[in-house]
Amino acid sequence: MHARTRWSTTISLVGGHRYTFTANWFSLAHQKPPQFGIVNVTPYIDAAVAAARKAEIAVVFAGDFTTEGADRSSLNLPGEANALIAAVAAANPRTVVVLNTGGAVLMPWLDRVAGVIEAWYPGQANGAAIAAILTGSVSPSGRLPITFPATAAQPVSSSSQFPGVNSVVDFGSGLDVGYRWYQTHGATPLFPFGFGLGYTSFSLSTPTVQSTPSGLVARLTVSNTGARPGVDVVQAYVRYPSSAGEPPEQLRAIARVELAPSSSTTVSIPIPQTAFQRYADGILATVPGTYWVDIGQSSADLPIHLSVGVP
């Protein structure tokens, strides 16, 4: 749309055979037609494997390129990235993968690497930020704002949902989007919405809930059970009564807490009255019944359950 972009795919070619490549594209008046080329990536992967065998730790940077007017056709890393990561991990089990992606990607090599950092598109400070995390001078504290699917079949059921047919995409209903789909269908993602790891661990305990004029407040104790300082993001989801016809869980509030090693604090999470409303027939209304405030550290890790009666 705005400038040249590079797209690639990986194929295996048999010696002595001829191949025909077909490409479809659209162009704007001010742009020149595309150019085509071919690169034999095998020597580059072989060189990376040789370096990994000699190294104490191998770090592989991989990413994709997403931009306006260039939708992704799959959730795979582009080109030879998966082959590179798998080959390096086979040569050195202490391999860390750093991903610069604009969205979720499949990770067929996940069980063969020692760690993954999802760095997104961090900009010009990328190098310094990743170095600080890799060396341990900074503990990562981010949480996933999306769900990472385990397979290309999650959460879509047909190509009409992704990547679409004839440039038309069927997004489905509210039950079919994000973590709601996984909970509705009892499916296990690769990484759930809200998930994130650091260099320490946390525990949640002694939960209570109290009504207020504007809604309610959930309180609980958050403890850093590890040996490093770190940040925890406590997440509160509301579970509606079945008669409301809503998704199983809906994120309604979060609380970020930073703790020193072996320390604890009480966290208060305000949840407004609107968190118990649903939109139907053009209005917002509350369905009477028993609601649950489920609290944890991701959409798939909610060990605390607090019941709330709503008249």
pLDDT, tens digit, for every residue of 293-308?
A: 999 999 999 999 999 9
Residue range of the domain that includes 225: 202-310
Residue 249 lies in a domain: yes
CATH number of the domain encompassing residue 82: 3.40.50.1700
Domain membership flag for residue 17: no
CATH classification of the domain holding 271: 2.60.40.10
Q: Count the neighbouring beta carbons within 10 Å of the beta carbon of residue 270.
A: 15
Are residues 110 and 215 located together in one domain of the fold? no
Q: What is the pLDDT of residue 174?
A: 59
CA distance 308 to 311: 10
Q: Which residue has the higher pLDDT, 201 or 23?
A: 201
Do residues 58 and 148 share a domain? yes
If asked whether residues 71 and 171 sit together in one domain, one would say yes
Residue 287 shares a structural domain with residue 219: yes
Average pLDDT, the chain: 91
| pTM of the shown model | 0.88
| Domain termination residue (choose one: 139, 157, 185) | 185
67 and 181 fall within a common domain: yes
Residue 21 forms part of a structural domain? no
So what's the pLDDT on residue 1?
58
52 domain-assigned: yes
CA angle, residues 297, 303, 309, in degrees to nearest 5: 110
Q: Are residues 144 and 47 located together in one domain of the fold?
A: yes
Task: Please report whether residue 253 resides in a domain.
Answer: yes
278 in the same domain as 237: yes
Q: Which range among 32-41, 58-67, 70-79, 80-89 has the greatest average pLDDT?
A: 80-89
| Residues 141, 244 share a domain | no
Q: Are residues 212 and 170 part of one domain?
A: no
Number of domains within the chain: 2
Whether residue 173 lies inside any domain: the answer is: yes
Which residues have CB under 8 Å from 133's CB, separation 6+? Answer: 117, 139, 140
Judgement on whether residues 238 and 272 belong to the same structural domain of the protein: yes
